[in-house]
Amino acid sequence: MARIIDGRRIAADIRKEVKEATGELKRTQGVTPGLAFILVGENPASQVYVGMKGKACAEVGFHSVTEVMPDSTSEETLLKKIAGFNADPAIHGILVQLPLPGHIDERKVLEAIDPAKDVDGFHPYNVGLLVIGNKTLRPCTPAGIQELLLRSGIDPAGKHVVVAGRSNIVGKPIANILLQKAAGANSVVTIVHTGAGDLGRYTRMADILIAAVGKPEIIKGDMIKSGAVVIDVGTNRIEDPAAKGGTRLVGDVEFESASKVASAITPVPGGVGPMTIAMLLKNTLEAATAQAPRF
* Residue whose CB is less far from ligand GUN, 97 or 284: 97
Contact 185, 146 (CB under 8 A): yes
Residue 19: active-site member: no
Does position 147 interact with ligand GUN (CB under 6 A)? The reply is no
Q: How far apart are CA 135 and CA 144, in angstroms?
A: 16
Kindly indicate which of the ranges 19-27, 96-104, 198-206, 287-295 contains the residues binding ligand GUN, using the contact rule CB under 6 A: 96-104
Choosing from 114, 117, 118, 120, the catalytic residue is 120
C-beta separation of 158 from 180 below 8 A: no
User: 78 or 261, CB closer to ligand GUN?
Assistant: 78
In the list 2, 95, 224, 265, the residue contacting ligand GUN (rule: CB under 6 A) is 95
Cis peptide before 99 (omega within 30 of 0): yes
Catalytic-residue membership of 172: no
User: According to the binding rule CB under 6 A, does residue 98 interact with ligand GUN?
Assistant: yes
Q: Is 118 a catalytic residue?
A: no
Q: Check if the beta carbon of residue 32 is closer than 8 Å to that of residue 20.
A: no
Q: Among 140, 189, 258, 281, which residue interacts with ligand GUN (rule: CB under 6 A)?
A: 140
Examine residue 143 and tell whether it contacts ligand GUN (CB under 6 A).
no
Rounded-to-integer distance, Cα 78 and Cα 101, Å: 11
Q: Which of 97, 126, 203, 259 binds ligand GUN (CB under 6 A)?
A: 97
One-letter amino acid at 188 equals V
Could you check whether the bond before residue 269 is cis, i.e. omega within 30 degrees of 0?
yes
User: Nearest Cα to 211, choosing from 262, 248, 247, 246?
Assistant: 262
Distance in angstroms (rounded) separating the CA atoms of residues 205 and 209:
9
Q: Do the Cβ atoms of 80 and 50 come closer than 8 Å?
A: no
Residues 116-135 that bind ligand GUN (CB under 6 A): 120
95-103, 147-155, 185-193, 195-203 -> range binding ligand GUN (CB under 6 A): 95-103
- Residue 18 in 3-state DSSP? helix
CA 130, CA 47: separation in Å to the nearest integer?
29
Contacting range for ligand GUN; rule: CB under 6 A; set: 13-21, 78-86, 91-99, 287-295: 91-99
Least separation, in Å, of the C-beta of 196 and ligand GUN?
24
Least distance from C-beta 289 to ligand GUN, angstroms? 21
Q: Is 254 a binder of ligand GUN (CB under 6 A)?
A: no
Give contact residues for ligand GUN (rule: CB under 6 A).
Answer: 95-98, 120, 140-141, 169, 276
Active site residues: 53, 97, 120
